[in-house]
Amino acid sequence: MKEVLYKVTFLPSQRTVTAKRGEILLDVLRRESQPVSAVCGGRGNCGKCKALVTDGSEAFPPTLTEARLLTRDEIAAGYRLSCQFKVMTDVRVKTKDLAVDSAVSKRPLPKASIREISPQIRLEEFSLCKPDIDDQASDYSRLMSALVTERPGIDRLNLLRRLPHVIRELDYRGRAVMYGSEVIDLLPFSDESGIFGIAIDIGTTTLAVYLADLKSGEIVAVRSASNPQSAYGQDVISRIDYTMKRYKGIDELRAAVLATMNKLIDDLCKESAVPKERIYDTSIVGNTTMIHILLGISPGRIASSPFIPAFTGGKVFESRELDLEVSIPNSKIYIMPGISAYVGSDITAGILSSGFAEDYGNVLLVDIGTNGEMALRSGERIFACSTAAGPAFEGGNISHGTIARPGAVDHVWLNGKDIGFSTVNGSKASGICGSGLIDAIAVMIDAGVVSESGRIKGEHFELEGTAGRVRINRQDIREVQLAKAAIRAGVSILMDRAGIETRNIDRILLAGAFGNYIDPENALRIGMLPNVPVERVSPVGNAAGLGAVLAVLDSGIRERAESLSSEIHYVELSGRKDFNEIFVENLALREG
Ligand code: FES
């Protein structure tokens, strides 16, 4: 029987693709790299995969799941859940613009704490004697003997093929681009285009890409975007599940993240007028699952006990092995070492860039995402663990929850009896993100609207003003309690392993975009962090991204990362019989 195909037109781009009759809209959006947030991975639980079907909606009536998760007004306006809606005629679809998180992109450039600029990539000048009948040394020997680097060599055939032509074109004088002792490119002597590196932090929710000048050590530009794998589930477990259950699922996830990484690199180079062929080195950090998927290595064994990753050590690959579109075929990609299945190289990078390893005393570093990764330093010892905080702080499982994008309520405060709030970019309120949620609950406690146990007065709490309206209900508060209790329980267990008490904690460093934006006072107020004086809590920005930048600017950082990853004591929380008890103790919304 002939297959029936329909047109699916995306708005506002007007791009049209085809879909098979009965194909699930979410599959079409994923295949065509359209922005969609599928927090529950398409299981019909979260209600976050909304799309506005402006034409063709009536050909597939709303399912019971849609009736449960969408309001009547939304259904009347044409909103559908893309994981439920089947394409039964030509349709026109508008999805949320999640592609670029402009709220993150427009943040000021971070200043990397570079102590020494000694990148893995160096330029070495050479001046060769021209060959004649009395000097018949090969081009290769001639070049190698002119370099001061010990035992230099060309390891790649593509450069060896070009060598005779290039050294004559350069008239025997130029600069060799060295990666350690390997010559990876040859440049004219007078070339002033510079040499650059890329640093990438692959977060489960957000990708951040930095362009760094390898000579000056400056961060030239930074860009970020939502991780397109959100279309496959918001947390790492949903994504691992997808790679296990779908044929070529890992290829889909890998292609999605690579396409966004390549686009961000392209944008950075255009914006900074840096030729892509001048990017010689790239360092990448991320949680262990993100790194496995990027490399096309099955993360399946990470998801179930005994939680075994394929590797955690530092690795160097050729950029073309990864399909990363930097133009020099011999440019390198460095993957920073991680620690375990659930404490990845993002934590190694955060430790290196935040001053955590050098700080005196007892220091706690917390990176809050769908997984709360944390490390505690006590004297010479470092303990680390990861706890499943769930997607609440990234807007998942929260009725009006959203990531920190324009329109997200990001701060809430009490002014006398009045409640004020702000939104990202000052846009009309369209949801509430993690920092706003923590503030809102702290304000609700202070206003007597919610009890320590999470009981709320009335049906819901409403934030209403000229900027719009957002509601928080009982279940939302429960989700925050579960998330914050998971984080606090992880911290308690690390403190127990290190043998220290709350009063002994000298500093708490909050890493990541979320850590940067939450109000420490309110995080303490709801009991998410140990109850230390607020001045001991400080945000450290995107510590993982800055750690990745350090790795392209300072080769010594790579050695420190390697030794650090082997020194850290990983604490497996699922092996702790008292975890549940500690978790339940920390559900209450109070300082502690
Ligand atoms: S309800 Fe569709 S992805 Fe969760």
Beta strand pairing call for 79-81 and 468-473 = unpaired
The pick from 24, 28, 40, 232 for probing ligand 1's pocket by mutation, whose C-beta has the most ligand atoms within 8 angstroms, reads 40
Q: Six-digit token pair at 479?
A: 């989700």
Ligand 1 centroid, distance to 56 Cα (angstroms) = 20
Q: Cα separation of 519 and 16, whole Å?
A: 44
Pick the CATH number of 196-335 from 1.25.40.10, 3.30.420.480, 3.30.230.10, 3.40.50.300: 3.30.420.480
| Ramachandran assignment for 563, one of left (phi > 0), alpha (psi -120 to 50 degrees), beta (any other) | alpha
DSSP code per residue over 480-495 = HHHHHHHHHHHHHHHH
Quick count: other Cβ atoms within 10 Å of Cβ 220? 19
Q: How many alpha carbons fall within 13 Å on the CB side of residue 354?
A: 35
Q: Six-digit token pair at 68?
A: 């449960």
pLDDT of residue 371: 84
8-state DSSP, 166 = H
Ligand 1 centroid, distance to 246 Cα (angstroms) = 17
* DSSP reduced 3-state for 567: helix
* DSSP reduced 3-state for 99: coil
Q: Cα separation of 486 and 497, whole Å?
A: 17
pLDDT of residue 559: 93
| Residue 473 β-bridge partners | 460
Q: Six-digit token pair at 512?
A: 């990541």
Q: Cα separation of 547 and 373, whole Å?
A: 15
Ligand 1 centroid, distance to 146 Cα (angstroms) = 62
8-state DSSP, 212 = E
Alpha carbon 83 to its chain's center: 24
Report which secondary-structure segment, H or E, holds 79.
strand 79-81
Determine if the peptide bond prior to 306 is cis (ω within 30°): yes
* DSSP reduced 3-state for 573: helix
Ligand 1 centroid, distance to 44 Cα (angstroms) = 4
pLDDT values of the chain reduced to their tens digit, one per residue, 592 residues? 678 999 999 988 889 999 999 999 999 999 888 888 888 889 998 888 999 999 999 999 999 999 998 888 889 989 999 999 999 999 999 976 544 443 344 444 444 456 678 999 999 999 999 999 999 999 999 999 999 999 999 999 999 999 999 999 999 999 999 999 999 999 999 888 899 999 999 999 889 999 999 999 999 999 999 899 999 998 899 999 999 999 999 999 999 999 999 999 999 999 999 999 999 999 999 999 999 999 999 999 999 999 999 999 999 999 888 888 876 778 999 999 999 999 999 999 999 999 888 767 899 999 987 788 999 999 889 999 999 888 888 888 898 888 887 888 999 998 887 888 898 888 888 889 999 999 999 999 998 999 999 999 888 888 876 666 789 999 999 999 999 999 999 999 999 999 999 999 999 999 987 888 899 999 999 999 999 999 999 999 899 999 999 999 999 999 999 999 999 999 999 888 999 999 999 999 998 8
Instruction: Dihedral sign for Cα 373, 558, 179, 269, please.
Output: positive
Q: Cα separation of 199 and 221, whole Å?
A: 11
Residues in Cβ contact with 288 at an 8 Å cutoff, skipping those fewer than 6 apart: 299, 302, 309, 312, 338, 340, 341, 342, 343, 344, 345
Q: Which residue has the tokens 């060598």?
A: 163
B/e letters for 84-122, b = 16+ CB within 10 Å, e = fewer, are bbbbbebbbbbbbebebbebbeebeebebebeeeebbbb
Ligand 1 centroid, distance to 590 Cα (angstroms) = 33
Sheet holding 315-318, edge to edge: 219-226, 206-213, 196-202, 279-286, 332-335, 315-318
pLDDT of residue 394: 83
pLDDT of residue 467: 60
Q: Cα separation of 566 and 428, whole Å?
A: 48
8-state DSSP, 587 = -
Atom of ligand 1 at shortest distance to CA of 83? 2
CB 240 within 8 A of CB 290: no
Pick the CATH number of 5-96 from 3.10.20.30, 3.40.50.720, 3.40.50.2300, 3.40.50.300: 3.10.20.30
| Residue 268 β-bridge partners | none
Ligand 1 centroid, distance to 156 Cα (angstroms) = 47
DSSP code per residue over 278-338 = GEEEEEEEE-HHHHHHHHT---HHHHSTT---S--S-EEEEGGGGT---S-TT-EEEE---
The pick from 37, 63, 81 for probing ligand 1's pocket by mutation, whose C-beta has the most ligand atoms within 8 angstroms, reads 81
Atom of ligand 1 at shortest distance to CA of 65? 1
Q: Which residues line ligand 1 (CB under 6 A)?
A: 38-40, 42, 44-49, 81, 83
| Closest of 181, 137, 144 to residue 160, by C-alpha | 144
CB 277 within 8 A of CB 546: no
* DSSP reduced 3-state for 30: helix
Ligand 1 centroid, distance to 60 Cα (angstroms) = 17
Sheet holding 362-368, edge to edge: 537-539, 507-511, 362-368, 371-378, 381-388, 569-570
B/e letters for 401-435, b = 16+ CB within 10 Å, e = fewer, are bbbbbbbbbbbbbeeeeebebbbbeeeebbbbbbb
What does each C-alpha distance from 104 to 72, 107, 468 come to in angstroms? 33, 6, 22
The pick from 25, 39, 85 for probing ligand 1's pocket by mutation, whose C-beta has the most ligand atoms within 8 angstroms, reads 39
The pick from 83, 95, 394 for probing ligand 1's pocket by mutation, whose C-beta has the most ligand atoms within 8 angstroms, reads 83
What does each C-alpha distance from 121 to 195, 216, 266 come to in angstroms? 8, 13, 21
Q: Cα separation of 572 and 569, whole Å?
A: 10
Q: Number of H helices and number of E strands within the chain?
A: 18, 25
Ligand 1 centroid, distance to 387 Cα (angstroms) = 23
Atom of ligand 1 at shortest distance to CA of 47? 1
Domain ranges of the chain: 5-96, 196-335
Residues in Cβ contact with 231 at an 8 Å cutoff, skipping those fewer than 6 apart: 26, 29, 30, 34, 35, 36, 37, 38, 256
Q: Six-digit token pair at 563?
A: 């030794």
Q: Where are the alpha helices (DSSP H) in 396-505?
A: 434-446, 474-498
Quick count: other Cβ atoms within 10 Å of Cβ 33? 16
Ligand 1 centroid, distance to 63 Cα (angstroms) = 13
